[in-house]
Structure formats: C-alpha cells, structure tokens
Amino acid sequence: MKLNVLSKVIELKGKKKEFSIITDLDTAKNYIYDPNCKLDKDLESFKINIAKCFNNRQDGLIKDTKLFIKNYFRPIQVVIVGAVHIAQYFVEFAKNLNIEINIIDPRGYFASENRFPDTNIINQWPDDAFKKISLNQRTALIALTHDPKIDDPAIKEALKKKCFYIGALGSKNTHKNRCERLKANGFDDKEIQKIFGPIGIKFGGRSAPEIALSIIFQLMSEIYKK
C-alpha cells in the first residue's frame, strides 16, 4: 500500500469516517472509496457495483471485476434500557460484533460494573441519561425493563430521534398498552409501527439467553437493511 493511501486510511479512521479499501488484484493497486468524495477515475465504470457492496456491507470480490473491496464501518451504537439478565447475555453474545453498547438503568443494584464489565453504564433515568449520550439514526434502542416509567421515556426519545431500530420487551398485551400510551403522547400509528414489540425474532425461545439471541438476530437483520 502506497504511503498516500495509508495516510488517507489513517486520516479517515481518525475522523471516524466510513470508507472502503479497494484492491485491483491484477495490478495490486489500492484505492480509497469514500461515499462523500469523488471516485478515482480508474474505478468510474464500476461505481454502481462498488456503491452496492459498500451499502450492503459486503466484503469480497466485486461482481464481474478483479477488484477486492474491504469495508470499514463505525460501530453501531446500541443503547439498552434495563440492566436485566437478557441484557447480560446480549452483551456477552455481542462482544465480537461491530457495535458499541451502552446500558441505561437508574437502579444501581442492576446496572453495576460487576454485572456488566467493560461496558458503558449510566445509572440515571433515561431523560437524564440522554443528556450524556445522544440518539440518532445510527442508534438502536432496546427497552427491557417492563417498567413504563423507565422504558416509555426512552422509546419516546428514540422515536423522536428516528433510531433505525427500536425494540421493547413485553407480551402482546403489554405492547398494546404501550402503544396506547404513545398515542396519548402524540405519536401516530406510522411512528409506533416502527417499534418491534414484542422484541426479537420469533423462534420459540423463552429463556434469557434465547431471547437475547433473538434480539441480536433481529437487530443484525435491520443493520444490513440500512
């Protein structure tokens, strides 16, 4: 890799930008693909397939070319509201995924360093916690407490900030009641339908680790739809 390409890679990583390194397997020449910058003229004829691989987060040989693409993405921010057993398993299962996990729970006896080592924990109510960590369209919010006093404010904030994934634990009846409360607070059906409730892919699992896996499967499916 030439020095100018390496310098650009270091610069983009330092700025936490998302980009790709494209290698021509015939010539061994490297290129940087930055979706916000003009594509190198050598790659102009392949720009549609390059963009497709980038948007689909797909590494490997680009179709009908001798170009190999390696994508570099910022971690997806995941905010878990509720330091329950499911959250513990979620953190354990997700530690090798490209996600950045934050735990919000005002109940200090649940949200502790002992239960969630090496995880960012905010022992505050959601309204106060969101002054320290902001939500955006790259954020996934997972509400697990079953307590409307904790879950509802977080879900409202996630809807306002248009988080790409919002999931809430609870039965169908619990979710129905949740939706009614959100309507009473001014959210319309289109917004409320964005919430996955009950949360997780339905495969019959009922234990805490099984539910955690079902949430991860659902979350990853939504990430790759982005």
- The reply to whether 27 and 114 lie within a common domain is no
- The reply to whether 68 and 83 lie within a common domain is no
- The reply to whether 35 and 89 lie within a common domain is no
CA pair distance 46, 51, nearest whole angstrom: 9
pLDDT at 73: 87
pLDDT tier, 226 (very low <50, low <70, confident <90, very high otherwise) = low
Domain with 85, as residue range(s), is: 76-223
- The reply to whether 17 and 121 lie within a common domain is no
Q: CA angle, 207 as apex, 206 and 213 as ends, to 5°?
A: 90
| Residue reference for tokens 């495969």 | 203
120-122 vs 139-143, strand pairing mode: unpaired
pLDDT, average across residues 194-223: 92
| Tally of domains within the chain | 2
pLDDT, the chain, mean: 92
pLDDT at 67: 95
- The reply to whether 189 and 130 lie within a common domain is yes
- The reply to whether 38 and 123 lie within a common domain is no
pLDDT, average across residues 69-83: 93
- The reply to whether 50 and 99 lie within a common domain is no
**Which residue, 17, 49, 72, sits at the end of a domain?**
72
C-alpha 61 chain-centroid distance: 25
**Structural contact between residues 111 and 81, judged by C-beta atoms closer than 8 angstroms:** no
pLDDT, average across residues 5-31: 89
- The reply to whether 65 and 122 lie within a common domain is no
- The reply to whether 193 and 88 lie within a common domain is yes
Q: Which two tokens stand for residue 35?
A: 């979706």
Q: What is the pTM of this model?
A: 0.80
pLDDT tier, 74 (very low <50, low <70, confident <90, very high otherwise) = confident
Edge-first strand order for the sheet with 67-72 is: 30-33, 19-24, 67-72, 60-61
